[in-house]
Amino acid sequence: MLVSLDIKNIALIDNLEAEFADGLNILTGETGAGKSIIIDSLEFVLGERADKSLIRYGCDSASVTALFQTSQNSPAAALLEENGIELDGGEILLARTMSVDGKNVCRINGSRVTLGVLRSIAHALADIYGQHEATGLLSEENHIKVLDKFAGEALAQATAERSTLCAEYYTTKREIAEYGSLTDVEAKTEEVKDAIKELQDAALEPGEEDALIAARKKFNNAERIRDALADAQNSLDGDSASALSQIVSARRSMSSVADYDEAYAEIERRLESLKLEAEDVAATLSDLIASDDFDPYAAERCEERLALVRKIKRKYSITEEECEQKLEQLQAELDFLAGGEAALERLNDRLDTLKTKLAKNADTLHSLRQKAAKELGELLVKQLKELGMNNASFAADIERTSGEPDPSGEDKVVFLFSANAGQPLRELVKVISGGELSRFMLAVKNIISDIDGVETMVFDEVDTGISGKTSQVVAEKLYTIAKGRQVLAVTHLPQLASMADKHFLINKFTDKDGAHTALTALDEKGMLGEIARLIGGSEYSSHALPHAEEMKRYADEFKKR
């Protein structure tokens, strides 16, 4: 159960603390007092989506803390254990803070958790019902979800099995698609073989395109290079005036005086080195001139090779360095295709087996849903009678569908309803009124919450569309529900307020700091005054107060019964 709620800087609330009781907790207040803010704050700490607009104007952050008490064997306790969070004496403290810069911090019992973990554990502790949920129940896509939740563990196991089968089914179909038909396999095999041969024959080398571009640049300047080489060789060793002959002559001159001074001998040795280097350079130039680097056929071969390299890179979307990796991929694909016919037979056999299992599973789901639909119908009609709808009838229409396997099965579920005797069952969305929908949703919530084991139920204006005698019936029903679990209800009904085990008044006041929302726990006198106000008079008017006292007496007698 929810023990306490601490709200800071949410909308009109600067600081609000409330302690709740077991049983039925009623929240009332004038329109605009801030009842929705209390619910928004509770939804916030339970992990629902929220935006920065919730933060009180002028504040940097907002926070909500909710303390719950639960048993050691509750679903929430099991979830805490799964997430490695200690359950301290049965207490679960949920805390969530949001700042204007978008930061969102969630904690459970002091341990920081993700919003998803907070939400999963919070949903095992409390369930909030508002008008949007009633509207959601009108959507046929939610009917199968309600029925499946009611159907319980057997259907959950069958659905889990179907989810696994569907995953295998679609994986197998993808693998078959990769093969295609046997003709496709043969054609693909030849295509891959041709690609492997083309890449192997091309034998691209790392950096080859850059090297070929450089070579082409040389070929395009062949004449200029050739002239430069010839001029250089002629200058070194062309005639009697060449550099080499001049070096030889200089060396000869220094040789004749080398014995007179070591400096002259050193110059002779250096000239000898120059002579040897010049001869080597001249020889190299001669070799370069004689080489086939400038062969026009070599230039043609370079252009052809460059075109091939570029073609291969473009065709296979690879670089030279990735050529070997591409070959390995193609070889793996060839190996995959090698057993084409046998593999296709195996895959098709597997697909047939999965189809059989899926069909059997669909039959199981259908049977379980039919059984659950009958039980849900009986329980709902009983609950609706307790809520004053004595002639209501209900059925869940389950129609088998066809098509590709779906994880939910082959069933389409539509809720059918009639509120009046002698009227045929029709689609819920087409025939149910606002007041009927509120009671219908209350009945559904009561049944499903028993299954979920949720200990706290929150009803946000469950009295929408309800008045007169029905108000008393709904009030008695909510009190009865609260005998088995904690209930928090925001209401405008004096009948429901009179049933409160604990009654809170939500009011708004203004001071020098602006508008504020406050929550006050009422004593017996305060409860009577608020019931009188809800009846339609002032708190202690001469006609409303006696009516409120009478209503409270009736409620107390009902509780005793």
Q: What is the tens place of the pLDDT at every residue in 219-229?
A: 888 788 888 88
Note the pLDDT tens digit of each residue in 110-131: 999 999 999 999 988 998 887 6
Q: Is residue 147 part of a domain?
A: no
User: Strands 24-29 and 61-69: what pairing?
Assistant: unpaired
d(CA 3, CA 167): 44
pLDDT surpassing 80 at residue 135? no
CA atoms within 13 A on the CB side of 219: 17
pLDDT on residue 240: 66
Distance, in Å, from the CA atom of 498 to the CA atom of 551, rounded to the nearest integer, reads 6
Query: For residue 223, how many other CB atoms are within 10 A of its CB?
Result: 9
Residue 41 has pLDDT above 70, yes or no: yes
Does residue 295 register a pLDDT over 90?
Answer: no
pLDDT of residue 294: 65
Determine the pLDDT at residue 133.
66
Q: Are residues 205 and 118 in the same domain?
A: no
**204 has a pLDDT exceeding 60:** yes
Summarize the chain as % helix, strand, coil (round to 5).
60, 20, 25
Query: Is the predicted pLDDT of residue 16 greater than 80, yes or no?
Result: yes
User: Same structural domain for residues 315 and 221?
Assistant: yes
Q: Are 309 and 212 in contact (CB under 8 A)?
A: yes
In this predicted structure, what is the pLDDT of residue 162? 95
Write the pLDDT tens digit of every residue in 433-466.
Answer: 877 888 888 888 888 877 777 889 998 877 777 7
Last residue of a domain, one of 307, 337, 367: 337
Mark whether 199 and 116 lie in a shared domain: no
Tell whether 108 and 14 lie within a shared domain: yes
Q: Name the band, by pLDDT with cuts 50, 70 and 90, for residue 61.
A: very high
Residues across the chain = 561
204 shares a domain with 78: no
117 shares its domain with 238:
no
Q: What is the DSSP letter of 414?
A: E
The order of strands in the sheet holding 514-521 is: 126-129, 456-460, 486-490, 24-29, 502-511, 514-521
Same domain as 206, residue 107: no
pTM (predicted TM-score): 0.65
pLDDT of residue 237: 81
Give the number of domains in the chain. 2
Question: How confident is residue 496, by pLDDT bands cut at 50, 70 and 90?
Answer: very high
Binned at pLDDT 50, 70 and 90, residue 537 comes out as low
21-34 average pLDDT score: 88
Q: Which residue type occupies 229?
A: L
464 token code pair = 């929408």
3-class DSSP assignment, residue 220: helix
Ranking 124-128, 178-182, 343-347 by mean pLDDT, the lowest is 178-182
- Mean predicted confidence (pLDDT) in 183-207: 88
Q: How far is Cα 267 from Cα 254, in angstroms, rounded to an integer?
A: 7
Nearest to 58 by CA among 96, 14, 95: 14
Per-residue pLDDT band at 541 (split at 50, 70, 90): low
CA of residue 404 relative to chain centroid, distance: 25
Give the pLDDT score at 258. 85
SS (H, E, C) 229-262: HHHHHHHHHCCCCCHHHHHHHHHHHHHCCHHHCH
pLDDT of 348 strictly over 70? yes
Q: Which of 292, 309, 337 is the last residue of a domain?
A: 337
Exposed, middle or buried by CB within 10 Å (0-12, 13-18, 19+), for 262? Answer: exposed
Please report the pLDDT score of residue 224 as a whole number. 85
Mutual angle of helices 115-123 and 75-82, in 10-degree steps: 160
Query: Does 248 score more than 70 pLDDT?
Result: yes
| Cβ proximity of 559 and 53 under 8 Å | no
Quote the CA–CA distance of 416 and 413 in Å, as a whole number: 10
pLDDT of residue 75: 87
Half-sphere exposure of 272 (CA within 13 A, CB side): 9
- The verdict on 116 and 197 lying in the same domain is no
5 and 118 both lie in a single domain: yes
As a whole number of angstroms, the distance between CA 225 and CA 473 comes to 107
Q: Does residue 554 sit within a domain?
A: yes
- Residue 134: which pLDDT band, with cuts at 50, 70 and 90? low
Q: 231 and 99, same structural domain?
A: no
- pLDDT category of residue 292 using cuts at 50, 70 and 90: low
399 part of a folded domain: no
Q: Which of 69-78, 282-291, 454-463 has the highest mean pLDDT?
A: 69-78
- C-alpha distances (whole Å) from 85 to each of 79, 90, 115 are 9, 12, 15
Q: What is the mean pLDDT of the chain?
A: 88
Q: In this structure, are residues 122 and 98 in contact, taking their beta carbons and an 8 Å threshold?
A: no
Cα–Cα–Cα angle for 192, 196, 198, rounded to 5 degrees: 115
Check residue 109 and report its DSSP letter.
T
Instruction: Give percent of the chain with pLDDT exceeding 70.
Output: 96
Q: Write out the DSSP string of 52-100.
A: GGGBPTT-SEEEEEEEEE--TTSHHHHHHHHTT---BTTEEEEEEEEET
Q: Using CA atoms, how far apart are residues 344 and 112, in angstroms rounded to an integer?
A: 51
State whether residue 520 is helix, strand or coil: strand
Sheet holding 2-10, edge to edge: 13-19, 2-10, 61-69, 91-99, 104-108, 111-113
Question: In b/e form, how buried is each residue of 82-98, taking b as 16+ CB within 10 angstroms?
Answer: eeebebeeeebbbbbbb
Gap between the Cα atoms of 32 and 41, Å rounded: 16
Predicted pLDDT of residue 176: 85
Coil, strand or helix: which one is 410?
Answer: coil
The CATH number that applies at residue 524 is 3.40.50.300
* Same domain? 116 vs 194: no
Mean pLDDT of 476-485: 88
pLDDT higher than 70, residue 32: yes
Secondary structure class of 129 (helix, strand, coil) = strand
Using pLDDT thresholds of 50, 70 and 90, give the confidence band for residue 132: low
- Domain membership of residue 196 as a residue range: 188-337
pLDDT greater than 60 at residue 539: no
* Predicted pLDDT of residue 131: 63
pLDDT of residue 197: 93
Residue 426 placed within a domain: no
The whole-angstrom distance between residue 346's C-alpha and the CA centroid of its chain comes to 35
Q: Is residue 112 domain-resident?
A: yes
Residue where one domain finishes, among candidates 312, 337, 362: 337
Residue 530 belongs to some domain of the structure: yes
Q: Per-residue pLDDT averaged across 371-382, rounded?
A: 94
Distance CA 498, CA 524 (A): 10
Whether residue 56 lies inside any domain: the answer is yes
Helix, strand counts (H, E) of the chain = 20, 15
In whole angstroms, give the CA distance from residue 56 to residue 43.
17
pLDDT at 245: 85
d(CA 164, CA 398): 23
Is 547 a domain residue?
yes
Assess whether 207 and 317 both reside in one domain. Answer: yes
